Every structure is written in structure tokens, then in C-alpha cells.
């Protein structure tokens, strides 16, 4: 579904990721793990087009999207939920979700997508008329994920969805990610610092450190390899 080949990208002329290659197959929940500053956010931004790629190629469902404008990528089925939630606080929950449906493919029902999101996050259904800015951080994260799901994506990119959330809410968020992948068959690429929750949710794993991928493969093999400990602790 998604192939990244020797990607390099960064800021101010300095690469934050270098020669990164990975593959996401349909139905995968792929966890990208690594310490803070490893390049996880940069990788997702390069894939979504919100950061220009300095070198390399991104192919999504057979289409080379390396130079494609970022606003065109959701129309292909690529949804990016960035870190920090970035909801519109002055809009209601329902209005925030509706913004995600602006790139919904022809023939897809906005009402059906809204029902899907409300079924996944019942709390949003209860508070559909509430201003997003008055909600808790966990509820805002649900809104952000729901907005991405309104696009009816084929691949959902999630960047640090647990950031700043209480442990109980983190559990709820990861349960929803597992449900999306295992029940509904959605392909998910999740970049996270939280190891236990990510490893419990994904079937494949990529380890990134200092802007480079140090290991990739099936989750169990990566856990046994010691690559995660090496990335986080240098041991």
C-alpha cells in the first residue's frame, strides 16, 4: 500500500531523517517507535506532504506521490492526524468532524462516516454540540482522529496520539486503534514514544533512532532483537 524509498527530509537544510525506507501493507498496524527527536514526526510529515522531501520517493497504492501537493493526498485515501490534536476550538465537535468530510470521495455518505465515528467514540456523539475548545485533551484527540476517519481513508497516519493524555484515556485511544485495524481492516501507521501500548497494538514495527531506521519487521522479531533497547538506552 505504501512504500518509502530512501527518504531524506528535514528543516533549515539539515536532515532530520536520512535514507529511510519502509513498507506498509494493507491491513497492517505498523508502529514507528523511537526516542524523542528520533525523526518520527518528520517521517509522517514527509509521507503526508506537509514537509518537502529532500531525497527519495513515496509511492501510495501504486501512485508516486513524492511531489504531489499535500491537499491532494487525502483524496487518494491518505489521512494524517498530526501531533498536538489541532482541533478548531471555536467549532463544535460535529463541525470539526464535518471538516474532515470535505475530501470524502464521490458516492460516499457523510452521514454514514459520521455514524461510524460516533460508534467508535460514543463520547463524541454525546457531545456533538459542544465546542471542541472546552473539551479535555483526550476528547480533543478523539475529535482529531474522528476528523481523519471522516475522509474514509485507506491509510491513517497517527502522530503521537497519546501525547499529554491521562493513562485511562491512552488506553481508550489505543483500544480504538486496535478496533480500527483488527475489526474494520483499516491500515494504520502510528508513530509513538509509548512502547507498551504501541507494541501491544501493532503487528509490525519500525525502530528509528537519530533519523535512521535501525530495525523493521514483525513485532515479535523486533522485540526479541534488542533493537528497541538499543534505540532508547544505547544498550
Residue 28 · residue 187 · CB < 8 Å: yes
> pLDDT by residue (tens digit) across 111-156?
999 999 999 999 999 999 999 999 999 999 999 999 999 999 999 9
> pLDDT by residue (tens digit) across 71-120?
999 999 999 999 887 899 999 999 999 999 988 777 778 899 999 999 99
Residue 188 · residue 153 · CB < 8 Å: no
> pLDDT by residue (tens digit) across 11-33?
998 999 999 999 999 999 999 99
Is the pTM higher than 0.75? The answer reads: yes
Domain spans in the chain, listed from the N-terminal domain onward: 2-233
Whether the per-residue pLDDT at 209 is higher than 70: the answer is yes
Three-class SS of residue 16? strand
Residue 3 · residue 56 · CB < 8 Å: no
User: Mean per-residue pLDDT for 63-74?
Assistant: 95
Query: In the prediction, which pLDDT does 105 show?
Result: 73
Split at pLDDT 50, 70, 90, the class of 235 is low
Sign of the torsion formed by the C-alpha atoms of 52, 58, 60 and 65: positive
Query: In the prediction, which pLDDT does 10 show?
Result: 94
To the nearest whole percent, how much of the chain has pLDDT over 70? 100
| CATH superfamily, domain at 2-233 | P-loop containing nucleotide triphosphate hydrolases (3.40.50.300)
Query: In the prediction, which pLDDT does 194 show?
Result: 87
Query: In the prediction, which pLDDT does 13 show?
Result: 85
Split at pLDDT 50, 70, 90, the class of 54 is very high
Residue 9 · residue 53 · CB < 8 Å: yes
Amino acid at each position: 500500500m505504501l512504500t518509502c524509498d530512501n527518504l531524506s527530509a528535514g528543516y533549515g537544510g539539515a536532515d532530520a531523517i536520512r535514507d529511510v525506507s519502509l513498507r506498509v501493507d494493507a491491513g497492517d498496524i505498523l508502529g514507528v517507535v523511537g526516542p524523542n527527536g528520533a525523526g518520527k514526526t518528520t517521517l509522517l510529515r514527509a509521507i503526508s506532504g506537509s514537509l518537502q522531501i529532500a531525497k527519495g520517493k513515496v509511492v501510495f497504492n501504486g501512485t508516486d506521490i513524492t511531489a504531489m501537493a499535500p491537499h491532494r493526498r487525502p483524496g487518494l485515501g491518505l489521512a494524517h492526524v498530526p501531533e498536538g490534536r489541532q482541533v478548531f476550538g471555536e467549532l463544535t465537535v460535529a463541525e470539526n468532524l464535518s471538516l474532515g468530510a470535505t475530501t470524502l470521495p464521490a458516492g460516499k455518505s457523510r452521514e454514514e462516516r459520521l455514524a461510524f465515528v460516533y460508534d467508535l467514540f460514543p463520547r463524541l456523539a454525546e457531545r456533538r454540540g459542544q465546542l471542541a475548545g472546552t473539551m479535555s485533551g483526550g476528547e480533543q484527540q478523539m475529535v482529531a482522529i474522528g476528523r481523519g476517519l471522516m475522509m474514509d481513508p485507506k491509510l491513517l497516519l497517527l502522530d503521537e496520539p497519546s501525547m499529554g493524555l491521562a493513562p485511562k484515556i491512552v488506553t481508550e485511544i489505543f483500544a480504538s486503534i486496535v478496533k480500527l485495524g483488527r475489526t474494520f481492516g483499516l491500515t494504520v501507521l502510528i508513530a509513538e514514544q509509548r512502547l507498551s501500548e504501541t507494541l501491544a497494538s501493532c503487528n509490525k514495527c519500525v525502530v528509528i533512532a537519530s533519523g535512521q531506521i535501525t530495525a523493521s519487521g514483525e513485532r515479535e522479531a523486533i522485540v526479541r532483537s534488542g533493537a528497541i533497547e538499543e534505540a532508547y538506552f544505547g544498550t
